[in-house]
């Protein structure tokens, strides 16, 4: 429960021009898609799409799909395997000519002086490793 005196009030302001999202399409992304065969070949493991990862997805155990559809799904995934990521190191980002980095505007204000909550000792190593993984993947910036 929050008292009415602690209510957060919106600040009337205008979104600055530098922070507005600009959508651009320098080229048609559908033109660079790899061709899909009408008769896809049997699945062969690749760089990211290994046999273990394919088995974990359960496409070939799926009884809802016909065998031809299972092969087609595997073929489409194999054609686009570099777009798949199973861990932080394999993640990528959008091309900046399509999506420039987001700029978040800040309204001039007095910063809060809240204390950070302590990390429980039982999960401290996991939290540190999680933050290091995010920094290594480029999602967090080192400070």
- Model pLDDT for residues 41-78, shown as the tens digit of each residue: 999 999 999 999 999 999 999 889 999 999 999 999 99
Residue 73: what pLDDT? 94
φ, ψ for residue 21, nearest 5 deg: -80, 130
Domain locations in the chain as residue ranges: 13-105
CB 17 within 8 A of CB 105: no
Residue 101: what pLDDT? 83
What is each CA distance from 22 to 18, 26, 30, 100, in whole angstroms? 10, 12, 20, 8
What is each CA distance from 68 to 46, 89, 104, in whole angstroms? 20, 33, 47
pLDDT classification of 106: cutoffs 50, 70, 90 = confident
Q: How far apart are CA 46 and CA 140, in angstroms?
A: 29
Torsion, Cα 106 112 117 118, to 10 degrees, reads 100
Is the pTM higher than 0.85? no
Q: How far apart are CA 68 and CA 75, in angstroms?
A: 10
The 10 Å Cβ neighbour count of residue 120 is 8
Q: Which long-range contacts (CB under 8 A, 24 or more apart) does 51-60 make?
A: 53/86
- Model pLDDT for residues 2-44, shown as the tens digit of each residue: 888 888 888 888 889 988 888 888 988 888 888 888 899 999 9
- Model pLDDT for residues 108-132, shown as the tens digit of each residue: 877 777 788 899 999 999 999 999 9
Closest C-alpha among 51, 118, 97, 99 to residue 78: 51
């Amino acid at each position: 429960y929050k008292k009415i005196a602690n209510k957060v009030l919106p600040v009337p302001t205008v979104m600055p021009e530098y922070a507005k999202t600009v959508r651009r399409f320098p080229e048609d992304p559908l033109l660079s898609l790899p061709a899909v065969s009408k008769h896809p070949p049997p699945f062969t493991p690749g760089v990211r799409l290994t046999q273990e990862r394919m088995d974990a997805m359960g496409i070939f155990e799926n009884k809802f799909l016909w065998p031809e559809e299972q092969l087609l799904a595997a073929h489409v995934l194999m054609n686009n395997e570099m777009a798949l990521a199973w861990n932080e190191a394999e993640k990528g980002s959008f091309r900046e000519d399509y999506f420039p980095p987001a700029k978040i505007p800040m309204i001039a204000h007095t910063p809060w002086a809240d204390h950070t909550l302590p990390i429980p000792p039982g999960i401290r190593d996991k939290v540190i490793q999680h933050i290091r993984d995010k920094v290594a993947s480029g999602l967090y910036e080192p400070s």
